[in-house]
Amino acid sequence: MKVMVVGGGGREHTIIKKIKENKNVSEIFALPGNGGMKDDAVCTGIGAKDIDKIVEFAVDNKIDFAVVAPDDPLVLGCVDALEEKGIKCFGPRANAAIIEGSKVFSKNLMKKYNIPTAQYEVFTDKESALKYIESCPIPTVIKADGLALGKGVVIAMTRDEAKDAVISMMEDKIFGDSGSNVVIEEFLEGPEVSVLAFTDGKTLCPMVSSMDHKRALDGDKGLNTGGMGTIAPNPCYTEDVAKVCMETIFLPTMEAMNKEGRTFKGCLYFGLMITKNGPKVIEYNCRFGDPETQVVLPLLEGDLLEIMQAVADERLSEVEVKFSDKSACCVVMASNGYPGKYETGFEIKIDEKIDAQVFVAGAKLVDNKVVTGGGRVLGVVAVADTLENAVAKAYDNVKYVTFDNAFYRKDIGQRALNIIKEK
Ligand code: AMP
Ligand code: GLY
């Protein structure tokens, strides 16, 4: 069986390694992939947003199954275009990917179907947004409507910060058309939990919960990044919270999308905040999270490709989706300077003594050597019986991966371990 995975980061490397466990897979292609995946997939170099080329590649190579992992191609209709050519896919069509592609859509969906989320107002012109900020509760949260590389959210601690955010999104267009409309919403407080779920529109199977660490520096300081590390499971996501989420958020979201004629098939990502008034949705993503996937999939017992095929065929209820009760920790190693300016091109060396998985996010092949090629370079992932041991094991193994200008957070998992201790 020939499988292709659209995307080229650590999430895609994790998906590829897991799919490879299926004995029926003969070849696996990454579009574009990256130099650090060369032992696991044929990297094609075809860009993840180049829908025409992706479809052409799939047809020419008689691909049996495609996984579209990143948000951009999903929102651009990559799955629709592949399905038109008869290629089976894992991932939502564009009319369902809008749940991530438009914050105005997702907020209105939650309001219509009574799914708990922050109170909000939508603004289509700058003047009314600025007027609203004169008297809204502070802190407040300003969100660009469309995709903005995860940077379209500003938590404004003062009215001036809120106004600046509106001006930069709506007037200076720092996110292009993504900021033509903005959502201004209530500031919520509480621990955050990420839950990914497989769904085919009929059945929804949540995966093990996880916790992202978005800030660049220890103690959650520094700039927001694409994620500097993750742990799973998330200790804030108790059985009681999980039950409430299933009843008030997960199933109602799946059903709401069906009622809107936008059945969601694929991986639905729930970014949740556990507030004192119960769990609320901070954001939906139409895809696996990165770097959440790096800790969630290693805990999946069973065959990822089989589950993905069942989702595509709308028979998810017939397969078992089971997770081990172990814990996982991913420490992201990045290039010094990230998320700002950084240098690339440094050779990545991995000592054979390593006893952890390495999922590569940003690397290139130069003269047959794997060198750094991005801000987030790779994730070192360890699985163990307890979270404490998983964290210790991940950090023990980081020393076996070396490249010039490497930096990583030293406290991934500490917040979770403190929560476990306080329980
Ligand atoms: P996003 O880019 O949508 O993942 O949002 C980035 C981060 O902003 C989230 O992980 C939250 O920490 C924070 N955030 C988003 N919305 C709110 C809100 N309504 N209240 C408090 N924090 C928020
Ligand atoms: N880690 C957050 C995301 O994938 O959007």
Residue by residue, DSSP assigns 389-421 as HHHHHHHHHHTTEE-TTEE--S-TTHHHHHHHH
Q: Ligand 2 within 6 A of 283 CB?
A: no
Secondary structure class of 372 (helix, strand, coil): strand
What b/e readout covers 308-342, taking b as 16+ CB neighbours within 10 angstroms? bbbbbeeebeebebebeebbbbbbbbbbeebbeeb
Q: Mean pLDDT throughout 161-180?
A: 89
- Judged against a pLDDT cut of 90, whether residue 152 lies above it is answered with no
* pLDDT of res. 175: 87
DSSP 13-82: HHHHHHHTTSTT--EEEEEE--GGGTTTSEE----TT-HHHHHHHHHHTT-SEEEE-SHHHHHTTHHHHH
Per-residue tokens: 369: 């050597």
Q: Does domain 327-422 have CATH number 3.30.465.10?
A: no
Residue 177's pLDDT is what? 86
Q: Whose Cα sits closest to atom 8 in ligand 1? A: 153
Asked if the model's pLDDT at residue 360 lies above 80, the reply is yes
Question: Hey, what CATH class is 119-186 in?
Answer: alpha beta
- 135: three-class secondary structure by DSSP: coil
Considering the chain, what percentage of its residues have pLDDT values greater than 70? 100
pLDDT digits (tens, 9 = 90+) for 175-212: 888 888 999 999 999 999 999 999 999 999 999 999 99
Please write the tens of the pLDDT for every residue from 292-314: 999 999 999 999 999 999 999 99
**Which of 143, 151, 269 best tests ligand 2's pocket when mutated (most atoms within 8 Å of CB)?**
269
Overall average pLDDT of the 258-269 stretch: 98
* Residue 355 pLDDT class (50, 70, 90 cuts): very high
pLDDT at 185: 96
Answer whether residue 150 shows pLDDT above 80: no
- Whether 2-93 and 327-422 share one fold: the answer is no
Burial class (CB in 10 A: 0-12, 13-18, 19+), 217: middle
Strands 88-90 and 65-68, bridge-based pairing: parallel
Report the separation in Å between the CA atom of 197 and the middle of ligand 2, taken as the mean of its atom positions: 14
- Which tokens sit at 134? 């004169």
User: Is any ligand 2 atom within 6 A of the Cβ of residue 227?
Assistant: yes
| Helix, strand, coil in percent for the chain, rounding step 5 | 35, 30, 35
* Nearest Cα residue to atom 5 of ligand 2: 289
Ligand nearest to the CA of 281: 1
> So where are the chain's domains?
2-93, 119-186, 192-323, 327-422
| pLDDT-wise least confident of 108-117, 124-133, 197-206, 380-389 | 124-133
The pLDDT assigned to 224 comes to 86
Q: What is the pLDDT of residue 178?
A: 83
**Pocket mutation for ligand 2, best pick of 15, 292, 296, 376 (most atoms within 8 Å of C-beta):** 292
The pTM (predicted TM-score) of the whole model is: 0.96
Distance CA 396, CA 354 (A): 9
| pLDDT above 80 (res 149) | no
Q: Given 3.30.470.20, 3.30.70.1290, 3.90.640.10, 3.40.50.2300, which CATH number is that of 192-323?
A: 3.30.470.20
**Domain 2-93 class, CATH top level:** alpha beta
Q: What pLDDT is stored for residue 423 in this prediction? A: 82
Query: What's the mean per-residue pLDDT of the chain?
Result: 96
234: CA distance to ligand 2 center in Å?
15
Q: How far is the CA of 202 from the centre of ligand 1 (A)?
A: 29
Ranges 177-191, 255-269, 367-381, 402-416: which has the least confidence: 177-191
pLDDT digits 0-9 by tens, 9-27 = 999 999 999 999 999 999 9
Indicate whether 325 pLDDT > 90.
yes
